[in-house]
Every structure is written in structure tokens, then in C-alpha cells.
Amino acid sequence: MRNLAEPNEDNIAFMIEAIKNKLRMASGAAMQASNFSLAKYEDLRDVYDIVASKDKFSISEVEAIVSELGQLRGSD
């Protein structure tokens, strides 16, 4: 099990890939780990924890998650 307590670029990349895979995001290629700042690590971790804890997502849940990721992406 990966230690996500440490904010670093490798953990951001891991969480982004896990979120993309879990949500089966067709546009996942547009979401690159390099677009996410370490300053937003805890917020990204919160989104990751939510995604990792569920097996299925409604369309509105996926839209909300993608929206949140969009707000976190590129913001400092």
C-alpha cells in the first residue's frame, strides 16, 4: 500500500491515475498529474479518498468529481 501522507509529485501522479482508472474517464489524457500543485495536495487527497472508497458512481457524481478536479488543476 502506498503511503499518501507525504505530499510529492509521485503521489499526485498515482492518485490522478487511480481516479482516472476508477472513473473510466474517456478524456483522462487531458488530466495530467503535472497540472496539479503540491499546494492542493490535501484537496486532491480528499477527492482520491472519496473515489477510492466507492465502487460505482452516478453520472452526477462523476460530473461533480471532474468539476472539483478542474478547480484543483492549475490553481495555487
Domain boundaries, the chain: 40-76
Supply the pTM of this predicted model. 0.84
pLDDT at 75: 56
Q: Which CA distances in Å does 71 have to 3, 31, 42, 56, 66?
A: 25, 12, 14, 23, 9
pLDDT at 26: 61
pLDDT at 39: 94
Question: What is the average pLDDT value for the chain, to the nearest integer?
Answer: 89
Q: Which residues contact 71 (CB under 8 A, 6 or more apart)?
A: none
C-alpha cell, 74: 492549475
Is residue 27 predicted with pLDDT exceeding 90?
no
- Higher pLDDT: 30 or 14? It is 14
